[in-house]
């Protein structure tokens, strides 16, 4: 079976990108990274990509600033790159930019995000801080398909993480990140094996049988 071609969208340090690269190297997921795209020229994720001999593409958001809808225009540029590299699955990895319908619809049920809480609790920014401030005793992370409702897409995998008495946002974030690095490759592998089926809001994990 040919490897699933992944496009990774990242803005920051790309630790989830690193986890995906490690899982590919360890052959625990049957995928290859076709391209890493960033909206941040100085993203460590781009450095990581190049360090591993992967394609790393920076797309400058300012190039779309004069368009009638700069976000959509930007996503059309991303789409061109994804298509150029024949990407089958898009994974958002610390991608700090709203994804617009142009991109979401082109990759419906083929675009995943990871979020550092047990959604629907603590959506959007600073999820770990939200959990701490709410006084939650358990949080975690969620891999979900991307839909137009931010952090509302069908859930593929979740992992729970205890919040401990002495935790700070930093220690909690680190504990959640360990689980992110474990479950994101798992979700990608389920996709690669054709085991994910979306029924309404629910993601069924099915056995596609011999192929």
Residue that has been written with the tokens 């997921």 in this structure: 29
- Report how far residue 140's alpha carbon sits from residue 5's, in angstroms, rounded to the nearest whole number: 28
- Among candidate residues 51, 115, 144, 181, the one labeled active-site is 115
Site for its own copies in 125-164 (CB under 8 A): 132-138, 140, 142, 154-160
Closest CA to 14 of 55, 48, 37, 61: 48
- If one asks whether residue 108 binds its own copies (CB under 8 A), the answer comes out as no
Whose Cβ is closer to its own copies: residue 60's or residue 133's? 133
CB of 10 to its own copies, least distance (A): 24
Contacts of 161 (CB under 8 A, 6+ apart): 138, 139, 140, 141, 172, 175, 176, 179
- If one asks whether residue 170 binds its own copies (CB under 8 A), the answer comes out as no
- 115 Cα distance to chain centroid: 8
CB of 94 to its own copies, least distance (A): 22
Using an 8 Å Cβ cutoff, are 153 and 145 in contact?
yes
Whose Cβ is closer to its own copies: residue 55's or residue 152's? 152
Question: Is 144 designated active site?
Answer: no
Q: Which residues bind its own copies (CB under 8 A)?
A: 118-122, 132-138, 140, 142, 154-160, 165, 200-205
């Amino acid at each position: 079976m040919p490897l699933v071609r992944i496009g990774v969208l990242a803005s920051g340090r790309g630790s989830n990108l690193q986890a995906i690269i490690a899982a590919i190297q360890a052959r625990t997921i049957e995928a290859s990274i076709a391209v890493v795209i960033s909206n941040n020229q100085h993203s460590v994720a781009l450095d990581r990509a190049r360090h591993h001999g992967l394609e790393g593409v920076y797309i400058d958001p300012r190039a779309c600033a004069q368009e009638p809808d700069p976000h959509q225009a930007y996503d059309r540029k991303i789409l061109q790159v994804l298509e150029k590299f024949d990407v089958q699955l898009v994974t958002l990895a610390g991608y700090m930019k709203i994804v617009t319908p142009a991109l979401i619809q082109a990759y419906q049920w083929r675009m995943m995000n990871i979020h550092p809480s047990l959604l629907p609790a603590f959506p959007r920014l600073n999820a770990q801080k939200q959990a701490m401030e709410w006084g939650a005793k358990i949080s975690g992370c969620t891999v979900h398909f991307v839909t137009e409702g931010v952090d509302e897409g069908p859930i593929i995998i979740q992992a729970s993480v205890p919040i401990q008495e002495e935790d700070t946002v930093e220690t909690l974030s680190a504990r959640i990140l360990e689980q992110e690095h474990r479950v994101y490759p798992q979700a990608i592998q389920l996709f690669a094996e054709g085991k994910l089926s979306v029924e309404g809001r629910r993601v069924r994990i099915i056995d596609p049988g011999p192929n």
